């Protein structure tokens, strides 16, 4: 049964890790190249991440500069950024794109806070689904007489503790990100 626990705990860790990646894409008023990670650009018919077709630098805390290796894709990168939910209009000088990250308004902070809450809730649902799958697996083992009734109860209790711990970690990550949004 400990092998089963490890499998489910690994899935919960992956969920927490994915949440961290989603939180990184939520801009917090500072220039961060991670906000571009989710964007895909039409590059010769393929949806390609910006980081694979351009270098991204941050000359100062509120600016990102995107320098494509192929000048022909500059317009496509610009279109992808404009179509995204970033809320930033890139400045195209013919060679590079400049993204100026303005100070966040109170309304934008609320929107981003709601987005953070949505991501956190999705992660909690994913963890609860993993718990449900685990309990169903243990019940199936009980039905096949592979484990006893006491083992089933212990497994359910242990999986619930694991779930509670990961839900707390998700809530802590959410609170940290929301605090970060408010401090800027």
131 — pLDDT class (breaks 50, 70, 90): very high
Count of C-beta atoms within a 10 Å radius of residue 82: 11
CATH at residue 159: 1.10.132.20
User: How many Cα atoms occupy the beta-carbon half-sphere of 1 within 13 Å?
Assistant: 20
Mean pLDDT score, 146-168:
93
Same domain, 92 and 63: yes
CATH code for the domain in which residue 82 is found: 3.30.1360.40
- For residue 121, the model assigns a pLDDT of 96
What token pair was written down for 27? 């801009």
Provide, rounded to the nearest whole percent, the portion of the chain with pLDDT above 90: 40
Nearest residue to 4 (alpha-carbon basis) of 126, 140, 143 = 140
Domain count, the chain: 2
* pLDDT given at position 28: 64
Pair 20, 109 in one domain:
yes
Residue 128 shares a structural domain with residue 92? no
Closest residue by Cα to residue 118 from 24, 35, 19 = 19
pLDDT of 59 strictly over 70: yes
Name the residue with higher pLDDT: 141 or 33.
141
165 shares a domain with 114: yes
What's the domain range around 64?
Answer: 33-100
Mean residue pLDDT of the chain comes to: 88
Express as a percent the part of the chain with pLDDT over 70.
97
For the chain, the C-alpha Rg in angstroms (whole number) is: 22
pTM recorded for the entire structure: 0.71
């Amino acid at each position: 049964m400990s092998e089963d626990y490890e499998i489910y705990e690994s899935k919960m860790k992956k969920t927490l890790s994915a949440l961290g990646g989603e939180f990184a894409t939520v801009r917090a008023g500072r220039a961060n190249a991670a906000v571009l990670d989710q964007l895909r650009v039409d590059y010769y018919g393929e949806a390609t991440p910006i980081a694979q077709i351009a270098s991204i630098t941050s000359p100062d805390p509120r600016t990102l500069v995107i320098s494509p290796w192929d000048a022909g894709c500059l317009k496509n990168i610009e279109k992808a950024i404009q179509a995204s939910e970033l809320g930033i209009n890139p400045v195209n000088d013919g060679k590079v794109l400049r993204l100026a990250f303005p100070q966040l308004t109170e309304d934008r902070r609320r929107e981003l806070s709601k987005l953070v809450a949505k991501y956190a809730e999705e992660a909690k649902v994913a963890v609860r689904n993993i718990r449900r799958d685990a309990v169903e697996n243990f019940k199936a083992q009980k039905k096949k007489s592979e484990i006893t009734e006491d083992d089933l109860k212990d497994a359910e209790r242990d999986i619930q503790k694991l779930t509670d711990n990961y839900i707390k970690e998700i809530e802590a990550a959410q609170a940290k990100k929301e605090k970060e949004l408010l401090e800027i």
